[in-house]
Amino acid sequence: MSKVLTLYRQYRLDRRFIFLSLTPILLLFLIFSIAPIVWGIILGFYQYSALYQESPFIWFDNFTNLLKDEVFVKSFWNTFKFVGIAFPINIVATLILSLGINKIRSTFWRNTLRTMFFLPTIAPLSGSAIIWSTMYKNDGGLFNMILERLGLDTVPWLSDPSIAMWSVVLMTLWADIGFNIVIFMAGLDSIPVQFYEAARLDGASRYVVFWKMTLPLLQRTTLFVTVMTLISYFQMFPQFQVMTNGEPQNATMVLALNIYSNAFQYNNMGYASAMATVLLLIIMVITLAQIRLGRSKWEY
């Protein structure tokens, strides 16, 4: 009897604790996360600008206009182009680099190398973008100065439509590969040494060890890294705004930047919200697909 009573009392206490601590947190969350999102999505159905006195409800007009808008279509594909180039390079490069750094025997050098690769990720992206735009300058920029000294032709890094996107990708990789390297290294560290010894005793080649053992054991790390990287790459913004602002000929106009310019430059908040909803859907579909995929592999 008394045991039931204690359990009941504990239950009451639990309730009270949950209620008291979760309410303020959820309230903040509701006001500053949920409400703006819902509000934002609803705006997509209005011809809304914060400046206007009236904002007519226009059903799906914003969305149908998107399909006719060349800049939107271009920014849609540019986003995929950017992610399509930067994402695989990021994952492959960080995996290789972390495998390499992990092979270094001296702890000091291992840590130092990791720090060197990680440092760019803690600098503000907008600041890094300014640094890089001065390095990319046509004359007087670091890259072209080096090319000139080597007697090579200079490259219009940010003003040639076929090169600009690659320049932004390069800067982005510099700015954020450190993060994934650290996480991959942590993943590698957690694989027990005995596994490798056993594999060596079995006479497995390095190639086999990597594909059949290391990679499958890194599954969880890889899932985390790919999901986080994809989400952030689809939303990438500061370097596009600072370095190119979508130019030349909209070759670097990505969705995030297009949303921003429509909302704050062209005063077309409703239209921008419709665009943002599309971006949201893209990110959601891809993330869910990834998690689904990752899970089925796990179980297997």
Which of positions 209-248 make contact with another protein (CB under 8 A)?
A: 220-221, 224-225, 231, 234-235, 237-238, 244-245, 247-248
Q: Which single residue is written with the structure tokens 């200079």?
A: 154
Q: Whose Cβ is closer to another protein: residue 95's or residue 178's?
A: 178
Candidate list 63, 89, 147, 156; residue touching another protein; CB under 8 A: 156
Considering only residues 73-92, where is the footprint of another protein by CB under 8 A? Answer: none
Instruction: Answer yes or no: are the C-beta atoms of 230 and 286 closer than 8 Å.
Output: yes
CA 30 – CA 27 distance, rounded (Å): 5
Piece in contact with another protein (CB under 8 A), picked from 82-90, 196-204, 249-257, 292-300: 249-257
Taking CB under 8 A as the criterion, the residue among 7, 134, 211, 297 binding another protein is 134
Does position 34 interact with another protein (CB under 8 A)? The reply is yes
Burial of 228 (0-12, 13-18, 19+ CB in 10 A): middle
Q: Which pair of structure tokens corresponds to residue 198?
A: 């056993």
At its nearest, how many Å lie between another protein and the CB of residue 248? 5
CA dist., res. 108 & res. 118, Å (int): 15
Distance CA 72, CA 208 (A): 46
Which residues in 45-64 contact another protein (CB under 8 A)? 47, 49-56
Cα dihedral sign, 245-251-253-254: negative
Choices 81-89, 194-202, 206-214, 276-284; region in contact with another protein by CB under 8 A: 276-284
Query: Nearest distance from residue 162's CB to another protein, in Å?
Result: 11
Q: How far apart are CA 236 and CA 257, in angstroms?
A: 8
Bridge partners of 146? none
The nearer residue to another protein, 155 or 199, going by C-beta atoms, is: 155
Nearer Cβ to another protein, position 91 or 182? 182
Asked if 193 touches another protein (CB under 8 A), the answer is no
By CB under 8 A, tell whether 131 contacts another protein: yes
Q: Tell me which stretch binds another protein (CB under 8 A): 83-91, 206-214, 273-281, 292-300.
A: 273-281
Minimum CB distance to another protein, residue 39 (Å): 4
- Contact status: 267 vs another protein (CB under 8 A): yes
Single out the residue of 100, 205, 208, 292 in contact with another protein (rule: CB under 8 A): 100
| Measured distance CA(143)–CA(135) in Å, rounded | 6
Whole-angstrom CA distances from 92 to 87, 97, 157 are 9, 9, 24
Q: Which residues of 91-101 are buried (b: 16+ CB within 10 A; e: fewer)?
A: beebbebbeeb
Q: Does residue 162 interact with another protein by CB under 8 A?
A: no
* Phi, psi (degrees; rounded to nearest 5) at 229: -65, -45
Kindly state whether residue 290 participates in binding another protein, applying the rule CB under 8 A: no
Q: At closest approach, how far in Å is the CB of 211 from another protein?
A: 20
